Structure 1
Amino acid sequence: MSEPVRILEIVNAMDRAGLETMIMNYYREFDRDRIQLDFLTHRDWRGDYDGEIESLGGRIYRAPRLYPQHWLSYRRFMRRFFAEHLYPVVHSHIDAMSAFPLAMAKECGIPARIAHSHSESIDRDAKLPIKVAARRKLLEVANHYWACSESAGAFLFGEENLSKVRVVRNAVDLEAYRFDAGARESVRRELGISNSQLAIGHVGRFSKVKNHAHLVTLLAELRSRGVDAVLVLCGDGELRVDVQDMVRKVGIEDSVRFLGVRDDVPRIVNSFDVLVFPSLYEGISLALIEAQANGLPVLASDAVSGESLLLSSAESMPLGSPIGDWADAVIRLSRTGRMEGAIAVLSDAGYEIRRAAEELAGSYLALYANALHDGGRSCE
């Protein structure tokens, strides 16, 4: 039997987060006798998914972090890497910063270089000027433009290039998220949430962009009104301790459940009454797709892509709206209950993983077939 085609996925780290989970959703569905995924990460720790990747037959490599002061050593590493590992197809998921590994891939003759946009904004941190310059460079070094949505594609590649962008949905196993009344009862019992309590859910990394402080303020507003509400938070991250401190200062520790990173999110979301997503910006959120597959009402900030909101029970609200308006909306949405036929709506929109994985596998195989057989030329 011939060896499978190997595609190189370039990421930061394969921790349990949105784009990483999206990649794994596709990877699990591929016929791995035909296609394998290997990963070039930019962190020196083992990611949450590393063990599963290895069990599926994938290989994991670690590149230096993309710091400006390390550019020369990064360049040397990438030249050596592409000389030693001949990948005809590389697929980079680090948004504007994809310009750096893809520039080296181009220099080393890699025929198919995919840049994938997963967001509609750029973190305004110390590397912002570099990211802005990298976004301009990206159009020169990538030769395939992919995005999770049209708006994410327009952001990274420009409105004028939208016709060249392929939208690859953040597809999920929709059936895994079908509402289960038995699971709802057991999870709420495990979490100490009574049937009469209003459970507000959120799934996401504790980072600035996810805006957990807004969730804490929202819960405090509901509690001040006498609403018996509970906040359930799935995820981990650099700001978790800060959010826990805020919860203590507000005095609502008994009403918040910090669950950490979970591998049973499809089960956990059954316990929610409404999902609230007050992100400062967002592309197509996997957590929002999963929640809607469960039929959950959703309240998101207007900074979240409207392309994420597919059900009539999924609404957006300006972040600048008074917190009282957010509380009113949560109470109203929680009373609507779960929407019937949610899975059919999401499937029709292209979010069913089996069909989406078949299409993506076909694209990978076609790119591979059209690429140079040796995957590049020596960069030494």
Structure 2
Amino acid sequence: MSRPIRVLHIIGGGEIGGAEIHILDLARHFSPQEVELHLCCLFPAPLLQRALKQGVQATAVTMRSKVDIVGFWKVLQLTRQIQPSIVHTHGVRANLVGRLAAKIAGVRCTVTTVHSVLENDYPDKLSRWINYWSEKLTAALTERHIVVANFLKKKLCEQGIAPDKVTVIHNGVDDGKFVDAKRKSDLRAEFGIANDAPLVGMVGRFHPVKGHKYLIEAAKEILKINSNVRFLLVGDGFNREMIETVIREEGLEPFFLLTGFREDIADIYRAIDVLALPSLSEGLSLTLMESMLCECPAVATAVGGNPEIVADEKNGLVIPPGDALALAAALLRLIENREESRRFGEAARKTIEERFTAKRMAERTQNLYRELLLGRLGVSG
């Protein structure tokens, strides 16, 4: 098999989150001699534009819903046109559409990456039920599930997926993004934040599962003790307006800055003193890994893959989910103990460099592609 493996990745792409960055990092680090990557986005923006800018062969096929027949037909036609050896899907909508299109088009192999726990991504019970059965009914069409953390393999096996059909390939960080960061003072000047003000940052989409409300509750306690602390919220999402309302009603507007989506994420990590990750659920957080690579220590909840990255009291602090007081205490500890914070930051960087790089993630993924096409379907993570 001397020619590169042609792979069609299918994803919603209606936001820039961990799954979207995951694909962009794969595209950047796949060997062109090994993999020819094509991308199909089911929303017209913003992933499509970022992929094209990066040089990825990408197409948008807009689907208004999972049962958009016209949209599905276009995805099927695109699959037939590209003639991939593997269709690789990400997310419930893409899984349903991509698996069916691959089957009808006669694609040799279908792979699905699971980035998070499905039930935690859909707070509405009806949506959760519909998406659960969408996954359940088409799971058999996937030859191999890739999961980005060990705990997700356990979850899938509990749902009836055979262990030898699940491979663990940890998410990885593209360290090339973090070479030319601005000085800390440059970004703080842009935001109007004093260089000596302790700055807590939270980076991620505005979704209830990310736990923004717990940071707001923690901020109220922190500010009683240290009124110089400031809080930076980076990202966008449907829940942003509600969070802004809560901040305003609590009288915390002078202490919070919401930046929206930012491209200069490395500069953000180097400007903040501590990362807060109060999530109620996570897969394997790219935000967490990126901040650690930048020597920014984190306070993270003990959910999902977080404990696979953060070793409590060694390279960061781990707290229970949904506990605003524990979050406040941990953040204050790192704010007030700069030497401990520095030690955690150095250990955090070493953890990422040794175990969680995008290059390693891409190499393991392209090796799995080749193993699957060679028929060694008994290989697991």
Specify if TM > 0.5: yes
> 1:168 corresponds to which residue?
169
- Structure 1 residues 178 and 341: CA distance shift in structure 2, 3 A: farther
In structure 2, give the amino acid aligned to 1:131.
Answer: N
Task: Note if contact 2:280-2:322 (Cα within 8 Å) is conserved in structure 1.
Answer: no
Larger RCO of the pair (alpha carbons < 8 Å, separation 6+): 1
> 2:59 corresponds to which residue?
60
- CA apart distance, 1:75: 4.8
Residues 157-195 of structure 1 deviation map (CA, whole Å, 9 limit, x = unaligned):
537633432122211123644797x72232223222223
Distance in 2, matches of 1:162 and 1:367, equals 15
Runs of 4+ in 1 over 6 A off after TM superposition: none
Partner of 2:283, secondary structure, is: coil
Structure 1 residues 310-319 or 234-243, which shifts more? Answer: 310-319
Determine whether 1:356 maps to 2:358: no
Distance in 1, matches of 2:196 and 2:83, equals 59
Distance in 1, matches of 2:8 and 2:168, equals 19
> 1:47 corresponds to which residue?
46
Residues 41-64 of structure 1 deviation map (CA, whole Å, 9 limit, x = unaligned):
222x32145244355141213142
1:322-361 residue pairs with structure 2 within 5 A? 323-334=324-335, 335=337, 336-338=340-342, 339-349=345-355, 351-361=356-366
Task: Note if contact 2:10-2:87 (Cα within 8 Å) is conserved in structure 1.
Answer: yes
1:263-302 residue pairs with structure 2 within 5 A? 263-302=263-302
Aligned residues: CA RMSD: 2.9
- Structure 1 residues 150 and 55: CA distance shift in structure 2, 3 A: closer
- CA apart distance, 1:278: 1.2
> 1:375 corresponds to which residue?
none
In structure 2, give the amino acid aligned to 1:361.
Answer: Q
> 1:313 corresponds to which residue?
315
Task: Note if contact 2:92-2:134 (Cα within 8 Å) is conserved in structure 1.
Answer: no
Task: Note if contact 2:41-2:47 (Cα within 8 Å) is conserved in structure 1.
Answer: no
Determine whether 1:198 maps to 2:203: no
Distance in 2, matches of 1:157 and 1:253, equals 45
Structure 2, unmatched stretches of 5+, are: 377-381
Structure 1, unmatched stretches of 5+, are: 372-380
- Structure 1 residues 134 and 228: CA distance shift in structure 2, 3 A: same
Task: Note if contact 2:112-2:145 (Cα within 8 Å) is conserved in structure 1.
Answer: yes
- CA apart distance, 1:370: 6.6
Distance in 1, matches of 2:197 and 2:78, equals 54
> 2:113 corresponds to which residue?
116
Task: Note if contact 2:316-2:348 (Cα within 8 Å) is conserved in structure 1.
Answer: no
Partner of 2:202, secondary structure, is: strand
Structure 1 residues 336-345 or 108-117, which shifts more? Answer: 336-345
> 1:105 corresponds to which residue?
102
In structure 2, give the amino acid aligned to 1:197.
Answer: A
Task: Note if contact 2:234-2:258 (Cα within 8 Å) is conserved in structure 1.
Answer: yes
> 1:376 corresponds to which residue?
none
TM-score if structure 1 supplies the norm length? 0.85
Distance in 2, matches of 1:97 and 1:30, equals 22
Percent same amino acid among aligned pairs?
23
- Count of residues paired in the alignment: 364
Distance in 1, matches of 2:94 and 2:123, equals 14
Distance in 2, matches of 1:316 and 1:119, equals 19
Distance in 2, matches of 1:324 and 1:59, equals 45
